[in-house]
Structures are given as C-alpha cells and as structure tokens.
Amino acid sequence: MPQYFFRKMILLVMVFSIPLTGCSSPTSVLMPTPSMIPTETMSPTKGSEVASIIPTQKPTPSVEPKVFYGFTYHRPDGNRLVSGRGDLPGIQPMDIPLAGEPAWVVSAPSRDRSIWVVALGDGRLQAFQVFDGAYEVLEIEPENLPPGKPPLLKVVDGIPSVVQIPGVDASPYSHAVPLRTDSEQVAFIDENGDVVISKGIEEEHLVVNALPDARLLLDETGRLLLLTNPTGRYDHGVLGDAIEAESITLIDTNPEPHVSLKIDIPPPAVIEGVVPIWADITGDGQREIIVTLTSPGVGAQIAVLNENGERIASGPPIGQGYRWRNQLAVAPTAPDAGLEFVDVLTPHIGGVVEFYQLSGSELQVLAQFPGYTSHVIGSRNLDMALAGDFDGDQKVEVLLPDQSRTELGAVRRTADGAELAWTLPVGGMVSTNLAAVSFPDGRMAVGVGRNDGVLRVWVP
C-alpha cells in the first residue's frame, strides 16, 4: 500500500509558525526556544491588544505577530536546556492556587511578562499571566484536554492558547507541532499510529506505526523525529504502559512529506522512552539522535546515532535488566564549559545524576551525584529536570527534585566530580514537569506544580 495518502476533512486547526532566528546556545541547537525571539517592550493589558505604535497621518505598518511556544520538554528538539541566566536562590517564589492537582505545566514569554498554563489531572486547563510580583487569571482555549495529554502552549501577542487538533482520531498522549515559518502546516500523531500532516482541509498520512505515546520532535527545517514500531518484548512497564519502541523514524516534509530514515533496533533491545534528544553532542554542527536502549540482560545504556542511522557512541550498560536511565540534556556542564550529556540513573531507586563526555566511540561517565530523581513510576512525564544557569554564575546546573520530591536541587559539575550547589523548597510535593521561560533581556523564570493544587513560580 502507498506510504501515505490524501483525504479531505474539515478541521478546526490553529495556523501558526515558529520564528527561526539563530540559537546562541553552546549546544548548537538551531531551533530556538520561544524566549530567544525579541518581543515588544510595551506592557500589555489584559485582553487582546497588540502592542504597536501608529504614526500620525501615515499608513499603518504591517506588524508580524509575535508567536511563542512552550513545550513540556522545553525545546522543540527535546533538549531540556534553558537559555539565559537566573537568580533562583535570590527570588521569593510565588504560589498560585489551582482548581485541582496539576499534571503538566508550560510557559512562554509575553513581552516583559510570562504566561503559565497548567493541565490538571482531569484535563482541565488554567492560564495565568505573571508580572511585577503579581498574577492574573487568563482565559484559555480549549478549556480541557484529554486527561494526561501534555499541552503545547502557543502565545500570539500576549494571548495564550493550547494547540489542539479537534476530533477523535488524534493521539490522547501527544500534541500537534507546527512545521516551519513559511508553512501553515501542522503535524500530529493519530490513534492509528500515522503521522498526519495537516493544512486547512487537507491531510496527508504517513504510515509509520508510531509508539502510542510518542512525542514529535521538530528541527528548524520542518523535519520530524519520533519513536516507532511498538513492541511488548520488554515489559518493564514504568513509563505508563508495557510497550516500548523498536525503531526511530525521521520524516522530511520538504518538498513533500516522506520518511527519509528508519533506524531499527535489533532484538532483544528496545528504546525505553517516549522521545529522543535530537541535538549536536559532537560539536560538528550536525544533530545526533540520543536514545536509551534497554534489554533484559544488561539494562539501560545511552546510545548516540547519526542521521544515517549509524551508532557512533554508547555509554556503559547498567548490567542488570529492568533498570532504567532517564536522558535529560546535552549542555555545557563541564568545568571548562565543554559539552556533556546528562541523565539520571535509576531515578526510582536512589536516583543518580550522571555527567557523560564523548570520547571516540564511548560515552564516558565522568561524574555522578546521588539522591535525586526525574520520574515517577507509571508516569509518561519524563520532563522533571532542566539544565541551565539558574543562579547567574555563568555555570550550567542541572535542576531536579530530590527523592522525596519536596525540594529542587541544583547539581553542578566540578573539577573533582559533581556537587550540590543549592536547594529550593517546593512547599509540597512535585507533581508536574519542570517548566522554564527566558526573557529577551536574558533573565529566566522557573515553575513547577505541586500535588496540593499549587503552581509555584520563581519569576524575577
């Protein structure tokens, strides 16, 4: 049968685009986070006003809307690295009461303010604008998502919405993503495991057999990367179900959508996760694909593949089945600001933050720090940690919950290994991913949801 086909239907989809300004991050991630894009300096009022100045007796200039996005995995390529600088230890946090226990939180800038959207455990959505030490409640569309579905926040000139494809055929575990600036197309995974490219009334289906809870990654040219070919041959079952992926699929959407690469993982190994990291770890300007491979005999190890499907490096296996590693970020965490890869070893049983460096065909673990976690057994939330300069000292820390999930710790690399730089009390127990937003002037804010129905944010 053909790999994809057209069918017509009316979809109420939101049309949007991602600005493709360059990224200055040392990770060479070319797809910018929303906070890297210049915004207006005028303070908005509540509502839909667009900040613009109209000269007297002159034609109204054409102003391109300012569009920002907030992903639960922070960057469109899955690299949980925050740009800018923070002052989290010096900020008094703000607690925002919610209507229930939060499951997800996402954030994006709005001029000099930040917008936060929370998905509650029952799927209800709440939105807030934070500014000048205060917050206000915003309306948000839609009002609900399927329970457990991660949101993708879209902010257009200060007005938030959550990207949603109406209809029963969209995956309840993943969200749609925009493709590129010069296109009105969006991509999403449907319940059959197809990747659907949608533009207005047209849909094109690529039969790829997506993992049921796969998340779509996106690069600056509109290419898509996802995990495919679900299998039950490794029934660890800690990530929401006992199904894992046995392949990785790369889709090129230019000039026409097509599968450009499929990487099969030979049995008995599987890819234990819901999303790769698609970032340049070698420093050569080309993206690599980073996944966690697991098999019953040896447990989990990190693998680095190039875009030809060749494995170019591997980390050490745990040595025991049914033990997992949660991959987090490619970031300049080394003492000399060199690139490293960060994960959490066995986050459910005394989690250990690990720092790797690439050496030939090996990913070598150079430092470890125990007592921290990045995942809760049974959850599809793999986004509970971030890397960034959270205290403004020009060094990158890894920020994540301790084993009790009642405080956040900043783990920093040192010449001798790794250390705990500082901690932040959460005031309850973490129940969401960790979200962050960077402002045009380089400041950053961080937020997390608690199980007592509170969103705690550290906003400068």
Higher pLDDT, 180 or 239: 239
Beta-carbon-side half-sphere exposure of residue 360 (alpha carbons within 13 Å): 1
Residue indicated by tokens 């790769």: 276
Quote the tokens at residue 444: 């950053």
Residues 6+ apart with CB under 8 A from 413: 333, 334, 335, 340, 355, 367, 395
Q: Do 280 and 75 contact (CB within 8 A), yes or no?
A: no
The residues facing 170 across adjacent strands are: 190
pLDDT for residue 249 is more than 70: yes
Residue 52 belongs to a domain = no
The pTM score is: 0.86
Among 31, 6, 3, smallest CA distance to 262 is for 3
Domain range enclosing 126: 4-35+65-458
CATH for 134: 2.130.10.10
Mean pLDDT of 296-312: 96
Residue indicated by tokens 């200060």: 158
The residues facing 137 across adjacent strands are: 128
Q: Summarize pLDDT for 184-221 with one digit per residue, the tens.
A: 789 999 999 999 998 877 889 999 999 999 999 999 99
pLDDT for residue 240 is more than 60: yes
Residue 76, classified by CB atoms within 10 Å of its CB into exposed (0-12), middle (13-18) or buried (19+), is buried
Quote the tokens at residue 208: 């790829």
Question: What is the full DSSP assignment across 15-35?
Answer: ------PPP--TT---S--GG
Q: How far apart are CA 30 and CA 220, in angstroms?
A: 6
Q: Do 357 and 363 contact (CB within 8 A), yes or no?
A: yes
Residue 423 belongs to a domain = yes
Among 412, 390, 31, 91, smallest CA distance to 220 is for 31
Mean pLDDT of the chain: 87
Q: Distances from the Cα of 170 to the Cαs of 17, 144, 164, 356, in angstroms?
A: 20, 15, 9, 37
Question: What is the full DSSP assignment across 161-181?
Answer: EE----STTB-TT---EE--T
Residue 402 belongs to a domain = yes
Distance of CA 68 to the CA centre of its chain: 14
Residue 17 belongs to a domain = yes
Residues 6+ apart with CB under 8 A from 34: 68, 69, 70, 108, 109, 155, 437
Residue 199 belongs to a domain = yes
Identify whether 59 is preceded by a cis peptide bond (ω within 30 of 0): no
Higher pLDDT, 63 or 180: 180
Place 79 in a pLDDT band, splitting at 50, 70 and 90: very high
Q: Summarize pLDDT for 60-72 with one digit per residue, the tens.
A: 444 567 889 999 9
Residue 162 belongs to a domain = yes
Task: Count structural domains, the chain.
Answer: 1
Quote the tokens at residue 409: 């710790």
Q: How far apart are CA 367 and CA 235, in angstroms?
A: 30
Walk across the sheet containing 430-438 and list its strands. Answer: 94-97, 454-458, 444-450, 430-438
Place 183 in a pLDDT band, splitting at 50, 70 and 90: low
* Percent of the chain predicted with pLDDT > 70: 85
Residue 307 belongs to a domain = yes
Residue 56 belongs to a domain = no
